[in-house]
Amino acid sequence: MQCHEEPPVCGAHLDADGRCLWRVWAPRARRVELVLSGGISRTLAMQSKSRGYFEAELPDIAEGQRYAFRLDGKDPRPDPASRWQPQGVHAPSAVFDPRPFSWTDAGWQGVPRNELVIYELHVGTFTPEGTFAAIIPRLPALVELGVTAIELMPVNQFPGHRDWGYDGVQWSAVQNTYGGPRALQQLVDACHGAGLAVILDVVHNHLGPEGNYLPEFGPYFSTRFRTPWGEGINYDDGGSDAVRGHVLASVRRWFRDFHVDGLRLDAIHAINDTSPRHLLAEIKEAADDEAAKLGWPAHVIGESDLNDVRILRGCKECGHGLDAQWSDDFHHSVHCLLTGERAGYYADYPEPATQLVKALNETFVYDGCYSPFRDRHHGAPAGGISGERFVVSLQTHDQVGNRARGERLHQLISPPQQRLAAGLLLLAPHTPLLFMGEEYGETRPFLYFCDFGDRGLQNAIRQGRMREFAAFQWKQPIPDPNAATTFEASQLTWSWSAGSHHAGLRQLYCDLLAARRTWPALRDFRHRHASLIGEGRVLCLLRGNPERSSELLVAYFNLSATPQALPAADRPPQMLLRSEIARYGGADSSPAQLAPWAFAVFGSQSGAAP
């Protein structure tokens, strides 16, 4: 008896000789037929194996061969482990062979965690074409900006032509309207050639509501708990071995077949697993194993609102061993400071300047203290874990797209405040994440959009959005998520004409990101000290090891709408960068003081300006 037997890997497996093995887990079916269409058209009874698996094998199969599974004589269904859905979630799957692609990234060694600068983008709205291929010509601009990794919002198959990606129903299939699996390989290869890592956003806490045929196959869902998006995934009840195996096989495929550098795990607080070894730890192990074969590090980043570093600690410390986690406390503090908003969860940030100081010093604002929004104590201390293991941001798809009108932060604040926010983010002792268009002040919103075919589901989405925004005291109509115009309104202009405010803002981002590469203090994520001075109107941020005084940096941020004096004592001698100059679209104010919402950075001669 084997105690650690791995579940069989499902899907269509094509070998070099054209022989294809199909395997499906369908314990709820008495008999399963393989239905082939296009190319070869025939129906074949599959052999029943142990524990609910069925198999069939045929020679002379070509890539692209369409297939589906018929359970107990009912309508054919696409493969739950499909890697290619050329005609969408309801149509037959297609055989995909990842091996013929000629990779050119043999010399790629990845990006170390402490050098990550992440750029989150949505494939469908990043370019007018909305495809993987259309991203490639824009890679040089991202390299010039100074980011080191792109993070793709979910690209696994979702219903229709437009969606954020979190309504996906097939974990391993690559969205057909983006170009499908081969085009994703081409994009990753091009990114590596440009020096950029690729992180995929993957969703293992729920599945979308349309095209979700998994319950017909087996117990993929749990009856013991629900997530905000519906039934939870069955990771620890009867049949869960196969479900976990399905997820882990998908994780391995992203690395092995598509050469990705990392995964961003969506809403891991909604993954319920009481198993002795948590699924998150197994995901990290699978990612590390595959990345080691490729020759670069795997970055597994969890999105969590629990403020609990157990997900980062190793197994010996009763943790899951993830590399990093998203942390929203920095975002919420900055947002409330600059906008004055206090509705919804922003009610937890009544003293944003003081709370921002805590976020810079200790990462978590809510580290066991009482949360008025939750009406309970929340979080635990970060426990001295190095700052690069926390991903912070000014904007994300959630924080922008989950606003009723999809406004970006810079549409809510003044240009000097935009520059101040950029300085806070890129001088902070954490891993920064930029949301596409942030760096030049994109004027178009990023709205929530989808493309469901079911009218009842369309209405439910509209009504659900209105209920959600009631907590933020929003009473006006919102853009229809299912309308094509909502999607189109969210496409980037990708424009920063010379001499414009947008060009100045982008230049500031470029210079700050260059500083992160060249100033030693900004590569030190452990030594930092933030405080409020000047009657609480100025935030002082010290970066670097005090024992290396020649490398220390001090940044002063004016958190008010009135000019503030620059401290004359206890600061390095040289001003390395200041925000309110013409180069960045500012008014070229006097360097002797901090203009409203301005910041300035001081260092020694060794900390040369970028």
Which sequence positions are flagged as catalytic? 266, 303
Distances (CA, A) of 195 to 111, 198, 244, 261, 391: 8, 10, 33, 12, 20
Say if CB 111 and CB 261 are below 8 A apart: yes
Distance CA 322, CA 299 (A): 8
What ranges make up the beta strands (E) of 178-237? 197-202, 221-227, 230-233
DSSP 425-457: HHHSSSEEEEETTGGGT--S----------HHH
Distances (CA, A) of 37 to 25, 44, 93, 115: 21, 12, 10, 48
Q: Are strands 390-393 and 376-378 parallel, antiparallel or unpaired?
A: unpaired
Q: Give me Rg for the CA atoms of the chain.
A: 25
Distance CA 518, CA 103 (A): 31
Say if CB 496 and CB 424 are below 8 A apart: no
Q: Are strands 53-58 and 369-371 parallel, antiparallel or unpaired?
A: unpaired
Q: Are strands 20-25 and 11-14 parallel, antiparallel or unpaired?
A: antiparallel
Residues 6+ apart with CB under 8 A from 210: 89, 159, 167, 169, 452, 453, 454, 457
Distance CA 25, CA 32 (A): 10
Centre a 10 Å sphere on the Cβ of residue 21 and count the other Cβ atoms it contains: 15
Q: In one letter, which amino acid is 207? A: L
Q: Which two tokens stand for residue 313?
A: 């600690």
Q: Are strands 32-37 and 66-71 parallel, antiparallel or unpaired?
A: antiparallel
Q: Which residue has the tokens 């040289």?
A: 574
Q: Which two tokens stand for residue 227?
A: 């997530």
N residues, the chain: 610
Judged by DSSP in three states, 559 sits in: coil
Among 334, 398, 404, smallest CA distance to 365 is for 334
CA angle 275, 276, 277 (to 5 degrees): 90
Which residues pair with residue 121 across a beta bridge?
152
Say if CB 197 and CB 116 are below 8 A apart: yes
User: Within 364-441, where are the H helices?
Assistant: 397-401, 415-427
